Chain A
Amino acid sequence: MPALVSRQEKCPLCGNAFDAEGQGCRPSCPLATGCKVVCCPSCGYSFPQETGWAGRLKGWLDRRKEDGR
């Protein structure tokens, strides 16, 4: 099954905000296991969830932004 983290995502294409849970690759995809691609429920656009190294970079940037306030 998709390796998505349940959290709020914002579609980069249509701007729809949604929970990533259950919005991953369909089980029919041959590469679904461990897949981090999220599919927007509004427009169908697919994009990889920002976890792993990207998630760490995002966390670091968010913390810097918080500290700067």
Chain B
Amino acid sequence: MTPGSSAAACPQPLDHKEIVAAPRTLVLVGNPNVGKSVLFGALTGKYVTVSNYPGTTVEVTRGTAEIGGSRWHVLDTPGTNNLLPMSEDEQVTRDILLREPEYVCVQVCDAKNLRRGLLLGCQLAEAGVPFALALNLADEAAARGIRIDVDRLAAALGIDVIPTVAVQRTGLPHLLGRIPEARVSKFRPRYDEAIEEALAELDLLLPEGRLSRRSLGLMLLAGDESLQPWLAARVSEDVRERMERIRRGLASRYPESLRYVVSRQRLAIADRLHDQVVTKGKASAGSALARRIGAWSTDPVKGIPILLLVLAVAYLFVGVFGAKTAVDFLENTVFYDHVVPWTEALLRWIVPAGSIQEFLVGPPGLPFRETNGFIIGKYGLVSMGLAYGMAIVLPIVATFFLAFSVLEDSGYLPRLAVMVNRVFKWMGLNGKAVLPMVLGLGCDTMATMTARIMETRKERVIVTLLLALGVPCSAQIAVIFAMLQGLSFAASIWFTVVILLVLFLVGWLAARVIPGRGSDFVLELPPLRVPQLGNVLVKTLARMEWYLREALPLFVLGTLLLWGLDRAHLLQLVERAAAPVVVGILQLPEQSASAFILGFLRRDYAAAGLFQIYQPYMTTGTMTRVMEIQVTVALVTVTLFIPCIANFLMILKERGWKTGLGIAAFVLPFAVGVGGGLNLLMRRFF
């Protein structure tokens, strides 16, 4: 979500008279999901009004409360991590603080995650807003052995700090008693000399407002565009230009963005304060070992053997057990020995012999791969659609999801992101980009959506391009593993090296061709722990359900498309039309054109189609050198295709038609070009 300008442009504060005439206003602020709304409910009771903040779709809840013997108007703001807005929700919260005429704040903070709360608290202190700090979920923090020196924190901030458990109303009477006395914090985070000098210059130019000039200056330096409408209404264009010159002058002194520099320095200040007031209970031997392994796993040297071990175990489980043993059993024993013949027999028994029976299962006596039956046939819904989805892709997807869930539940996944961060930086991406790239190994469509976490348009476009180009999703990895099992080690190396080289080179080139700049990567690391079997099973089942809902309908659709083309005798026409590319450039068998058609629906479906063509030779160990080259070329070409139709639509939605079509226009010929080039190279050197 991107911050809209409408909230900042909103000229009027919220209308209190709709609720009740109340002399004073209390604004609740806090990070998302810290119990703010529970506290709001406890203060105001059930008579509240929920309405959109003017000019936005963000809901703001308002009510009234009896505090200290008088009526207060109470505003519950959207959860925010920052007064430098990154989303419309955060902008609304900042605008309420900026525009409301007179108010005091209660910052609700999760005592289990004081660091994040202090980051926001520092900004409220900078803003000169009178506030009190509610350390909510204090019971859960205590249960985890987190001890907060409340008196020391209150003394450091110069405000009231009250531990609360909002759901049990613990601490609320004390908090209510302190709200009328809320005061401006004396805590003043200090930045480096250059920033302080710029702030001093801006202080002379900025207008008076509800938030301090220092706070407004920091927003301005960080490049907060959403502040401009507010400023435009208060200072002349000339003054704004002078302020922009100060900002540019300061920005030129840092290699990173000013937003990042300010946030990093503020985080360091919040960290120091956090370490002064928080102590944790004595760690058990197990957690000490987990912390040590956790530290090794992000170490540039010690982390590599851990990473290799994790990858090797994952490969043995997914690539060998899932892609070979499980696929062989499900495809041959379950599907082709039982499900397909049983379904055929059942349909022949139910439907009387004749044209309808022939339409469904083909003429009797012929092997199903030689008929064009609708249910059982070469392109039958059961014999092809279900067999691809359930017998070839599902077992590998299931083992992949199981391995992925183990990594996720153990807390290793974010550490993996930190480890590969260095590598991905060479590809023109900052560390944060690793997150959608790693997610892309699960699902490229989800990962394309997640590319929103990148701060700049340039980064979002590069991530989207690389996801579309060379990051295979779990279902495709599944079939790739199955195919690589039937190839020689050398052919597998060719495939891996080509895909990695393409990713590196395209990323490197895109970083230099696409205009704009990058940003830096901050990711909170949860503790490393032994994965819980129950959690892993539930996570795996949830992902498999999601896969079945999303992928299987497309498999059925793809099968219907092929069946329709075959019935209308168009498939041979398509194969002939694709022959110059498939046969001429890639030097693949003509029938593999149908697999490439499926590639427009899903890449894994296309790979499964190729798997079907070569599987008999792989099983019997009769793959020739030319076949190995063909499989490698086909796999590389299919992998470099747009992952699936859903991903393509998502690219259009997220990046816009122009960029989306541009990516597709690059990816499709590029995939064929790389495939063709690889074919020439392998025929010479393989």
Contacts and interface: CB of A to CB of B under 8 A. Distances in A.
Contacts of A19: 33
A16 B33 contact: yes
Nearest to A28: B653
A36 B450 CA distance: 15
Interface in B626-655: 646, 649-650, 653-654
Contacts of A13: 408, 413-414, 435, 526
B452 interface: yes
A49 B542 contact: yes
A25 B448 CA distance: 12
Interface in B418-448: 435-436, 439, 445-447
Contacts of B239: none
B524 interface: yes
Q: Is the interface of B mostly helix, strand, loop or mixed?
A: helix
A12 B654 contact: no
A14 B649 contact: no
Contact of B450 (A44, A57, A65): A44
Given A12-B413, A19-B33, A37 B446 contact: yes
Given A18-B33, A28-B654, A31-B550, A46 B450 contact: yes
Interface string A33-59: 010110101111111111111110110
B539 A43 contact: no
Contacts of B453: 43-44
B650 A61 contact: no
A57 B541 contact: yes
Contacts of B173: none
B660 to A, nearest CB: 12
Given A54-B538, A57-B541, A30 B439 contact: no
Contact of A61 (B408, B411, B538): B538
Nearest to B140: A17
Contacts of B447: 46
A44 to B, nearest CB: 4
Contacts of B413: 12-13
B549 interface: yes
Contacts of B33: 8, 16-19, 41
Given A19-B33, A43-B524, A54 B545 contact: yes
Contacts of A48: 542-543, 545-546
A14 B446 contact: no
A15 B112 CA distance: 11
B439 A45 contact: yes
A14 B526 contact: yes
B463 to A, nearest CB: 12
A15 B526 contact: yes
A53 B545 contact: yes
Interface string B255-279: 0000000000000000000000000
Contacts of B524: 14-16, 42-43
Contacts of B446: 37, 46
A6 to B, nearest CB: 12
Contacts of A53: 541, 545
A61 B534 contact: yes
B41 interface: no
Contacts of A12: 408-409, 413, 539
Nearest to B525: A14
Interface in B29-65: 32-33
B194 interface: no
Interface in B524-574: 524, 526, 534, 537-539, 541-543, 545-546, 549-550
A65 B535 CA distance: 12
A61 B550 CA distance: 26
B115 to A, nearest CB: 12
Nearest to A3: B549
Contacts of B411: 15
A46 B439 contact: yes
B435 A44 contact: yes
Given A44-B450, A50-B541, 7 more contacts: A13-B408, A13-B435, A17-B33, A31-B445, A36-B545, A45-B450, A46-B449
Interface of B: 1, 32-33, 79, 81, 408-409, 411, 413-414, 435-436, 439, 445-447, 449-450, 452-453, 523-524, 526, 534, 537-539, 541-543, 545-546, 549-550, 646, 649-650, 653-654
Per CB-CB distance, the 8 closest pairs between chain A and chain B, nearest first, are A44-B453, A15-B526, A54-B542, A18-B33, A54-B541, A30-B649, A61-B534, A48-B546
